[in-house]
Amino acid sequence: MDENEKLLTRRGILKTVGAGALGGAAFYGMSRLGFATEKSFAAEAPAPDKMSRRVNPGNGDSISLLGFGCMRLPMQAKAVSPGGPEIDEAAAARMVDRAIKQGVNYFDTAYGYHRGASEAVIGKILSAYPRQSFYLATKMPTYLNPTLDQAKEIFATQMQRCRVEYFDYYLLHNIQSVEGYKKIYEENGVLDFLLEQKAAGRIRNLGWSFHGDTEALEYLLSREQRWDFALVQFNYHDLMRGYEVKPAQMRAGAKPPPPAPWYLEKMKESGIPMMIMEPLLGGRLARLNKKTLAILQAERPQASAASWAFRYAASIPNVLTVLTGMTYMEHLEDNLRTFSPLDAFSESELTVLKAALDGFLSQANIRCTACGYCMPCPYGVDIPALFSHYNRCVDDDFIPTGRESANYEEARRAYLVGYDRSVPELRQAARCTDCGQCLPLCPQNIAIPTEMQRLGKFVEELKTRV
């Protein structure tokens, strides 16, 4: 056995990482996070379908730990964007039916998902099942800056699209700043309107989803309004390693997101039940590089990369469900295996995960989660696909650098070939006109036009370096 093989054995990993990993400032193990233990998980009796569930302490709802996110539904062959309206309804219906039969009962959609088609499609599909058999969540589109009259119209449209008389969970979508929250929900009276809907029984639980800064989070948590739940973004990368967003990568005037450990501590202090979004960091934690994946597979040979991320997120205390968008049946089946029932994390597995993260070169990534809120671009640029290709190359440590490097020519050709295969020429970065339409729509506050110009210039330089 050579040195590389030794490293990839479980014993080799633990010896290499050592006890120091558990004491590192960036490593948040079970003792610091307050993770549930194997014993406490075992005490939860699984349903006959074996799906792990969590009980909402506020109302007794028994919610599947796997939540079905409806932002990335299967698409028709003719679709040009994964977030477009051309949903393959038959494929989506098959996935929903499979999920329900295996115990999934929480479905999360939004006014803008699939450019408005998600609510209508999921509402149509779920109308075939008893209303008491599922929980449906949707959201008020904060990013549209609705007036009170517009909010009323939006809410009525959502009830019609979703074919329901009430929403189980309703969110103030994508809270980013104190100013935006105050204007829409306090000054425009939209929060009072939603509270009226709750009093009338058309909303059972009212909460919010968050993509803002530290000031915005503290403001939300300081309100007299008692929130029933919150949809928050956590994943093992951000909590264990941290993520520094460079100012140049953010849109002008935007503040950096709160540090994930601080964010989690504030949520724990609040006691508000949490739904987890983006546990895969836009899918990147399901597409680990070979080095990282080998370390995880040495510990759990049959487990997918995605399952590690889901198990970590589900082990965070006060979590009711972990949302994930599932485009293919294969995604659903893998996730069902992970949550039916959930196998809780051990301390040794967290140590292995820390070792794996040391091989995950993500600090140079563009923080895009491929949510598609920025689409469609009026000039045809496929923003999520361009960022995804760049991030994949960064994560695989395959970005062309100096011409003197040993693998420069191989990396140069691979990047350009992958670039053209991932994105048609008329949808590439060079098509960006810096119109700025995408800027206020990005929940990660990415300076999209600036990044498009950088990527376009980078590609042109690669083409000329022959």
Domain segments of the chain as ranges: 27-292+299-345, 383-464
pLDDT in the model for residue 102: 96
Answer for the pair 238, 260: CB distance below 8 angstroms, yes or no: yes
Highest mean pLDDT among 37-51, 116-130, 382-396: 116-130
Task: Name the class of domain 27-292+299-345.
Answer: alpha beta
Going by pLDDT thresholds of 50, 70 and 90, the confidence category of residue 246 is: low
Largest CA distance in the chain: 70
Q: Torsion angle of alpha carbons 326, 328, 332, 335, nearest 10°?
A: -70
Going by pLDDT thresholds of 50, 70 and 90, the confidence category of residue 248 is: low
Mean pLDDT is lowest, of 7-21, 56-70, 121-135, 234-248, for 7-21
Q: Which residue type, as a one-letter code, is found at position 56?
A: N
Can you list the positions of beta strands (E) in 39-165?
53-55, 62-64, 66-69, 106-108, 135-141
pLDDT in the model for residue 428: 85
3-class state of residue 111 by DSSP: coil
For residue 376, say if its preceding peptide bond is cis, omega within 30 degrees of 0.
Answer: yes
pLDDT of 11 above 60: no
Looking at per-residue pLDDT, the higher value among 15 and 312 belongs to 312
From residue 349, alpha-carbon distances to 33, 280, 305 in Å are 15, 18, 13
pLDDT digits (tens, 9 = 90+) for 30-61: 444 544 433 333 334 445 589 999 999 999 99
pLDDT digits (tens, 9 = 90+) for 155-183: 999 999 999 999 999 999 999 999 999 99
pLDDT of 322 above 80: yes
pLDDT in the model for residue 7: 31
The pLDDT of 246-268, averaged and rounded, is 79
Query: What predicted TM-score, i.e. pTM, was given to this entire model?
Result: 0.79
Give the residue among 318, 340, 265, 275 at the shortest CA–CA distance from 46. Answer: 340
Going by pLDDT thresholds of 50, 70 and 90, the confidence category of residue 249 is: low
DSSP state of 444: T
The pLDDT of 359-379, averaged and rounded, is 74
**How many other CB atoms are found less than 10 A from the CB of residue 396?**
17
Query: What percent of the chain stands above pLDDT 70?
Result: 83
